[in-house]
Amino acid sequence: MDKMSQILVEFPLVLILMFIVFRFMGNKELNQSTPIDFAFMVLMTSIGWDVTLNQDYPLWFTIVLFILLVVTIYLFDWITTKSKRAEKMFIGEPLLLIKHGEINKEALEKERMSEDELLALLRLKGFFVLDDVELCYLEFNGDISVKEKISKFT
C-alpha cells in the first residue's frame, strides 16, 4: 500500500480511536480540565498525528501508546485523589486574590494577571464593586470563586 493510501486508511481509524479514548476518560468540560488533562490531550493529539504521518510505525503501535497513556492518566488521577500533597503538586490549589475587598497584588503577579483582568472576571460573576467582595479565589482551572460581603444593615 502506498503512503497516501495508508494515511487515508489510518487517519480515520486513529481519529476514531482518539474519540473513543477521550470518551472513556470522562465527561469533564474543557473549563474543568486540570494540567494533567491538558497534557493528556496534547500527548494524545501528538501521538495520533505522528503515527498517522510517520509510516515507520504500524497501527497497533498507536493502540498500545493510547492504552499506555490512558493507564498513566488513570494512575495520576488515582494518586491525586489519594494524596493531598500530590494533588497540590500536579493540579495546584486555589489562590487567594481578594480578602476583605483588598486585592492581593503579589498573587496577581504570581499568576501574571492584571487588575483589569480580575475586575473583568468579577463583573462576569456579577460583582461590579470591589468592596462587595469578601473573598475571591483563583481556582486551578482558571475560574474564580467569590464570596460576597454580608452587609451589617440587612
Domains in the chain with CATH codes: 3-90 (no CATH), 95-148 (3.30.240.20)
What's the pLDDT tens digit per position in 32-78? 667 777 788 888 888 877 777 776 777 788 788 888 888 888 888 88
Number of neighbours of residue 56 by Cβ within 10 angstroms: 7
pTM: 0.60
Using the predicted structure, report yes or no on whether residue 1 has a pLDDT greater than 70.
Answer: no
Number of neighbours of residue 40 by Cβ within 10 angstroms: 21
